[in-house]
Amino acid sequence: MSIWAIGDLQGCYDATQRLLEKIAFDPARDRLWFCGDLVNRGGQSLETLRLVHSLREQSVVVLGNHDLSLLAIGQRSEEEQRKVNPDLQRIVLAEDRDVLLEWLRMQKLCHVDRDLGWMMVHAGLAPKWTPSMAERHAREVEQKLHGDQYQRLLKHMYGDGPAWSPRLGGMDRMRAIINVMTRLRYCTPRGRISFEEKGTPGTQPAGLYPWFEVPGRAERDLKIVCGHWSTLGLFVGYGVHALDTGAVWGGTLTALQLDSDELRIVQVPGRDTPAAVPRKRHKPRPDDGNRNRGGERARRA
């Protein structure tokens, strides 16, 4: 049995199939962790969503910002749905849309496996959040999303504020949690997110830090696998393993084996985009005292 985490698919069905073949995925014995953003921009979002849905007994999925947006679009009128981009439109107008969207709505914001020693979230954690706190906050949102109030949540989840505070309540609290877990890249030491900054570390204004480098951040007792930040690329450091390597932009699609004593990384070419502009990648770096078992080096296959 092998357990693999896979970065943002974003509707890249062909690349997903290539990756599953390269890791020799066997649904009878292997398990998959998907880091969110299953859909949008890749041109094959319907096929990708159907594929992941077909693997639901063998996989764990956390929701990304694009997945939540799809769920919100699914609640709009058909007239409004016909105005969205063709990739998402094919999903919300498909015959099996209700099955796919209902399944997607029941997925998590974060996943924790303490026996394995890993947690998965789409974007990141607020500076003061431990894995246990993150899991508890995620369950607050999931309770709403999985329950009768999901339509209200999806309608009011949009917005850049307020910044996270444990004193928040109501929809402001839900929105702040969602923003942290699905949209975070850079923030201040107090946890205020900069939504505009999306470049590689070193390009951000003074006072902003990658969420995993914030001074005074909480100690975390689990390794974290995430996606969301395509310009960061493959990153291993501070106990964080970021796997969005820009498959939808003509980069690669990345898998990381979670149940291995070495850091095993497998990559395949992403979407075929001849006109894509090359995107600068942030190189893996040491784990700064929070290394994986044995301090192993990454091995690509």
Question: Quick check: 255 and 227 in contact, CB under 8 A?
Answer: no
- Rounded CA separation 250/287 (Å): 28
Show the beta-strand stretches assigned E in the chain. Answer: 3-6, 31-34, 59-61, 110-113, 118-121, 186-187, 193-194, 209-210, 223-226, 235-237, 240-242, 252-257, 263-269, 298-300
- Rounded CA separation 241/223 (Å): 8
Q: How many CB atoms lie within 10 A of CB 263?
A: 22
Q: Does domain 3-127+217-300 have CATH number 3.60.21.10?
A: yes
The answer to whether the Cα torsion of 219, 221, 227, 228 is positive or negative is: negative
- In the chain, domain spans: 3-127+217-300
- Rounded CA separation 13/272 (Å): 11
- Rounded CA separation 137/120 (Å): 14
- Rounded CA separation 279/18 (Å): 21
Dihedral pair phi/psi, residue 9, rounded to 5°: -80, -45
Q: What is the pLDDT along the chain (301 residues), one digit of tens a residue?
A: 999 999 999 999 999 999 999 999 999 999 999 999 999 999 999 999 999 999 999 999 999 999 999 999 999 999 999 999 999 999 999 999 999 999 999 999 999 999 999 999 999 999 999 999 999 999 999 999 999 989 999 999 999 999 999 999 999 999 999 999 999 999 999 999 999 999 999 999 999 999 999 999 999 999 999 999 999 999 999 999 999 999 999 999 999 999 999 999 999 999 975 544 444 444 444 333 333 332 333 444 4
The answer to whether the Cα torsion of 19, 25, 30, 31 is positive or negative is: positive
